[in-house]
A and B are shown apart, each in its own frame.
Chain A
Amino acid sequence: MNDLDVSKSLSVPELKRVAVQMRKDILYMIYEAQAGHPGGSLSATDILAALYFRIMRIDPTNPEWEDRDRFILSKGHACPVWYAALANRGYYDRSHLGTLRKLNSILQGHADMKKTPGVDMTVGSLGQGICAGVGMALGARFQKKDFHVWVVIGDGEMQEGSVWEAAMSAAKWKLDNMTVILDLNRIQNDDFVENTMPLGQVQEKWQAFGWNTICINGHDMQAVVDALEEAATIKGIPTIIIADTVKGKGVSFMENVPAWHGAAPNAEQYEQAIREVEGALI
């Protein structure tokens, strides 16, 4: 993707190429670290590609820009996808990718806003990023700023009570300057969400909490882009995009397998995974 000018808003075919590069980077980081969370990073890749390379108002040369859109990966364990987006967008050199989880690295095991340029909120304890998102949206409104806050949460994460506390407050304050994207990959750490703690009627629950809901296939790049663009136009009510995704997307042996929530590939698996991810473009 070296020929792409990432400072421009990318087209859907271009975003697909970016997503392939991000998936390769995710696998590389986790392989080098021999630790990390591939499944939930790969399921959120297309969403972050669309946000960082088309939707968000950002300036990688000025990561502290006050008027930038904010992004929070509330499911912070999936930070390799965030690091891949930021590196490819030019926030820092790609050479950092090999240092994930190592001593003295700018890329911590869970994202750290004081160490990584472009990370807008420190995350890792599930169910807190979305609450911070509410705070950022309120901060924007109070200071009459027009930036938008984007938050990605996990479906397992939705089991935390604090997610619902955030949901209530965003509805109370009609936070239309905040959009949550639910990475509905149906797997958490121990097992499938349905076996661990079923979520019931997800869309109806968010609606009952006063949210506008948009349901999409989270790997259909056109649908992802359309939903994000639509969400930003909805007024007077917070929006959640419920993205149907596949945990481990793009790597056949990782797809829909709970064991790949938090495991690193060995050399052979890594090579196969890279081949498969590259094959997505052909």
Chain B
Amino acid sequence: MISPYHFLLPEVESVLLNSDFFKTTKKHATRYSYSEALFEVAEINPKVVVLDVDVGKSLKTNEFAKKYPHRSFNFGIAEQNMMAAAAGMATTGLIPFASGYAMFLSMRALDQVRNSVHYPHLNVKIAASHSGITPGPDGVTHQAQEDLSIIRTIAGSCVIAPADHVTTKMAVHAMAEYDGPVYLSLTRDPVPYLYTSDYPFEIGRMVTVREGSDLTIIANRDLVAHALVAAAQLSGQGIEARVLDCHTIKPLDEEAVLKAARETGCIVTAENNVIFGGLGSAVAELLVENDPIPMQRIGVRDTFAESGPYYEVIDKYGLTFPHIMQAAQKVLDRKHAFNNQMAKGEA
């Protein structure tokens, strides 16, 4: 039998159905994948510099500072100053990677992100750890469940939320080469290793990581692994879900969404982010103007979360694979009702 999966590590594909998949599978926090990749891009491009705001220990950008003290700038606990300074550095030709927590980069320094970085479209790279509800125990003040939505609404922004270690490293390389501001969303807690190095990472291009024709699940960052597990379980029930890894939320790969709409007739989006203005909204906005098929969204509803272990928190707030499976059932029911109605209308 040919595998429906693409670019998935064989050792991951073979255990997707294990009940303890998320407990036992090998994991890595993508905040570390980011700082590891910085060494590589710094070797390639001498203009790359790294900016910190007293959380270098947390992103391990402090390791970069040890190796490249002259290319590393710790601004202390002063996110607004760092962000506007990054803009200033970019005007001189440097490529600053402004590193910190998503909460404080996307929200404390939002005015600077908009007016000093995006309005002049400067070449600032924002590396945001603790994105979404990926910090569990720290609680609400550190859970940036709105960051992707917020940055997505800024004109000319590019928002990337990779699912695993390999694709995060690819994203760091791609953003170093990209001309313009990029927001990179990183996880605080470890997430499963998923992909082989064949993964074709390109900014703005979704990747089909599982073939299927009954429905499409479009997911990003830490929920891609949940989408894959949900799809594997659905397959056991005779439902074949296509899974798209939407690592770039903006610009959205419209072609891939419309193709999925045409070919599978219904879509579930899954994001560890508020349902307002993020991935689900982006897909819905596109569909409603082009091909309004049934759609269900997984995301944080109109609530703040709370402290707790990462997995327990995202499960309580409706983001894990069982919730994706429920949404899949619901969207399939709606698709069938929709198709029946269409058939009646035609008869």
**Which residues of A does B touch, CB under 8 Å?**
33, 35-36, 76, 101-105, 107-110, 112, 115, 122-127, 156-157, 159-161, 188-191, 193, 196-197
Given A124-B139, A156-B54, A189-B58, A108-B76 contact (CB < 8 Å) = no
Given A103-B306, A189-B57, A109-B138 contact (CB < 8 Å) = yes
Nearest Cβ on chain B to A164's Cβ, whole angstroms: 11
Is the Cβ of A159 less than 8 Å from the Cβ of B78? yes
Given A108-B307, A189-B55, A103-B312 contact (CB < 8 Å) = yes
Is the Cβ of B104 less than 8 Å from the Cβ of A125? yes
List, sorted by A's number, 21 A–B pairs whose CB atoms are closer than 8 Å. Answer: A76-B141, A101-B138, A102-B308, A102-B309, A103-B313, A103-B316, A104-B308, A105-B306, A105-B308, A108-B306, A109-B141, A110-B138, A112-B140, A125-B108, A127-B77, A159-B54, A159-B77, A160-B77, A189-B57, A190-B55, A197-B75
Residues of B within 8 A of A33 (CB): 137
Closest partner residue, chain B, to A77 (CB atom):
B138
B81 within 8 A of A: yes
B80 within 8 A of A: yes
Nearest Cβ on chain B to A161's Cβ, whole angstroms: 6
Work out how many contacts link A and B, with CB atoms closer than 8 A.
Answer: 97
Is the Cβ of B77 less than 8 Å from the Cβ of A122? no
**Which residues of B does A touch, CB under 8 Å?**
52, 54-58, 62, 74-78, 80-81, 103-104, 108, 137-142, 306-309, 312-313, 316
Residues of A within 8 A of B52 (CB): 190
Select which of B57, B81, B103, B104 is within 8 A of A161 by beta carbon: B81
Given A108-B139, A110-B138, A127-B77, A190-B54 contact (CB < 8 Å) = yes
Residues of B within 8 A of A110 (CB): 138-142
Given A109-B137, A161-B81, A196-B307 contact (CB < 8 Å) = no
Closest partner residue, chain A, to B103 (CB atom):
A125
Residues of A within 8 A of B54 (CB): 156, 159, 188-190, 196-197
Q: What are the nearest 7 A-B pairs in CB distance?
A: A197-B76, A124-B141, A103-B308, A109-B139, A159-B76, A101-B137, A108-B139
CA distance A272 to B46 in the complex (A): 48
CA distance A98 to B18 in the complex (A): 32
Residues of B within 8 A of A127 (CB): 77
Is the Cβ of A108 less than 8 Å from the Cβ of B313? no
Residues of A within 8 A of B81 (CB): 161
CA distance A181 to B78 in the complex (A): 20
Given A110-B141, A189-B55, A190-B57, A196-B74 contact (CB < 8 Å) = yes
Is the Cβ of A102 less than 8 Å from the Cβ of B55? no
Q: Which residue among B58, B76, B103 has the maximum number of chain A CB atoms within 10 Å of its CB? A: B76
Closest partner residue, chain B, to A159 (CB atom):
B76
Residues of A within 8 A of B139 (CB): 101, 108-110, 112, 124
Is the Cβ of A161 less than 8 Å from the Cβ of B80? yes
Is the Cβ of A108 less than 8 Å from the Cβ of B140? yes
CA distance A108 to B305 in the complex (A): 11
CA distance A193 to B307 in the complex (A): 28
Closest partner residue, chain A, to B80 (CB atom):
A161
Select which of B74, B103, B138, B141 is within 8 A of A122 by beta carbon: B141
Nearest Cβ on chain A to B170's Cβ, whole angstroms: 28
Other 15 A-B pairs with CB < 8 A, given A156-B54, A189-B57 = A101-B308, A103-B309, A103-B316, A104-B308, A105-B308, A109-B137, A110-B139, A124-B140, A159-B76, A188-B76, A189-B58, A190-B56, A190-B74, A197-B54, A197-B78
